[in-house]
Structure 1
């Protein structure tokens, strides 16, 4: 089967987050990630953009839902993706997204998470380097959601983390040449786990750490190096408790590479030492 990586490469472009305290959330992303609010035609949504990163902040109320938005190269690629979803019986709708003026579609995974694919406008802005790169979830139905994203949407498995009894605990999925743009951890809850910003080098990780330290935002995981993906990282949280990862040196993977298999242990999640193991 032709994959996204082979036919219509896609990268994570922006997020739509829903908050009970949107003003506090916006102030955090403005101060800490150099995002600036820009006009939005949709009432209740605030679009915030910066250098190679963006979020849409929406007030928590009935009818508002978060989504995770991936960009493809052009209208032809978006049409090919829509055809793929149609052939594989995945319902989707057209959606107006302020950061996808070239058109967009939205669909849901088997557990109700919303994903948008569209053709992006260039995101401008000044600030420290950190490109929005991947998002991760915890799920109670790892096999089901993995089958959906691989067989229906066209993601490719880069690596799996396997427990001693043979159970797959984590799946890392790619939609372009980077090791993962999406991942799922087996857990006791269905929730958003984190999202990640890819920097240029180790010194950028240092500089982001210094920035959060100066603002008295503590690092809760890391610094360290992941086994799958081989990337340097650390994690912090925003005022809503959403987890942000900052990463460097993420592995690139060829389209014909076989999935890797890693043991479920702390050194797989952090080869430098202690790890945050989901439960």
Structure 2
């Protein structure tokens, strides 16, 4: 098992011009709680998560602002910073005290494609609660998936530079490798990389308490008027349920549950799963067919934030 300096996924920060509409969707319908707002930047928490916030929204041109991961302590933050700097990775800011909700200590850098990545430790734990039976709101942020114009190279970069491990691969006989599922802890994936026509957000996934809560949440979002682009079903890779919706900003968001836990990493061997097999995409066969139209929805708009650090 690889000794990793990254412990888990903390939050996803997004920018979009329609901030108020997006904020209403995330709080009124998706089930997150606003915990802070500074001018046009809003912080949203999940009631079941100890993270101070799991989504940050900012009013600006549409882009991924930050993908943030946790580290165990300041020594690990410094060790990771020094390792990346020695390998020539472009640092956005050096390790320092953070001023966002919960504080903490961390630094930011650009990944191979130019996304801004944050690593932090010593973030205050938020008072959270147990999600009740049949309560259709997220427990936590499960995983973030990005599109990359060079997915294979990006996968290798995350393995070499950040210690991520490959869990499984989706491939097509005609198109080659399509998605790499990457883990930084025992969860099957906290991050994944899809081969796309450009760099962008593929989707962000939110964990529900269980199947009952996932189904009730799926129905709740359908009644909100949001369009479900794919689902409900159950993936093969990760063995998790899925229901994908399009938010007001045109991002794909997923409700999921029961993501696989890899208990014995030393004996785990990544599978190569053929997307042309129905059971690869949806074990149950309940979801609409994955086709070119559905795939295009998750290509999203070109992210113009590559190698451009956000102002906050």
What is the TM-score of this pair, normalised by structure 2? 0.79
Which residue number in structure 2 is paired with residue 35 of structure 1?
A: 32
Q: Could you tell me whether the CA contact under 8 Å between 1:11 and 1:133 is conserved in 2?
A: no
SS at 2:265 equivalent: coil
Q: Contact 2:5 / 2:162 at 8 angstroms: preserved in 1?
A: no
Distance verdict in 2 for CA 1:166–1:37, change over 3 Å = closer
* Residue aligning to 1:263: 274
* Structure 1 outlier segments of 4+, above 6 Å: none
Contact 2:102/2:125 (CA < 8 Å) preserved in 1? Answer: no
Deviation, 1:166, is 8.2
Pairing 1:195-234 to 2, within 5 Å after superposition: 195-234=204-243
- Equivalent pair of 1:171/1:184 in contact (CA under 8 Å): yes
Q: Which moved more, 1:47-56 or 1:92-101?
A: 92-101
Instruction: Tell me the residue number matched to 1:46.
Output: 42
Unaligned runs of 5+ in 1: none
Match of 2:248 in 1: 239
- Relative to the length of structure 1, the TM-score reads 0.88
Distance in 2 of aligned mates of 1:168 and 1:183: 13
- The aligned length equals 274
Q: 1:233 to 1:44 in 2, by over 3 A?
A: same
Equivalent position SS for 1:161: strand
Deviation, 1:184, is 1.1
User: 5+ residue gaps in structure 2?
Assistant: 132-136, 297-312
Task: For residues 218-268 of structure 1, give each alpha carbon's deviation from its aligned partner in whole angstroms, at most 9, with x where no partner exists.
Answer: 322111111110111111121101111111111112332222211132522
**SS of residue matched to 1:184:** strand
Aligned to 2:145: 136
Equivalent pair of 1:49/1:125 in contact (CA under 8 Å)? no
Please give the alpha-carbon distance, in whole angstroms, between the structure 2 residues aligned to 1:198 and 1:48. 15
Alignment partner of 1:17 is 2:14: yes
- Once the two structures are superposed, what CA deviation does each residue of 1:17-37 show, in whole Å capped at 9, x if it has no partner? 101011111111110233333
For residues 152-210 of structure 1, what are the alpha-carbon distances to aligned partners after superposition, in whole Å with 9 as ceiling and x for unaligned?
11111111123226832211100111001111111222211100011221111112012
Asked if 1 retains the 8 angstrom alpha-carbon contact of 2:6 and 2:163, the reply is: no
Report SS of the residue matched to 1:193.
strand
Distance in structure 2 (CA, Å) of the matches to 1:20 and 1:212: 22
Q: CA deviation at 1:104?
A: 1.7
Distance of aligned partners of 1:186 and 1:65 in 2 relative to their CA distance in 1, 3 Å threshold: closer
Residue aligning to 2:301 = none
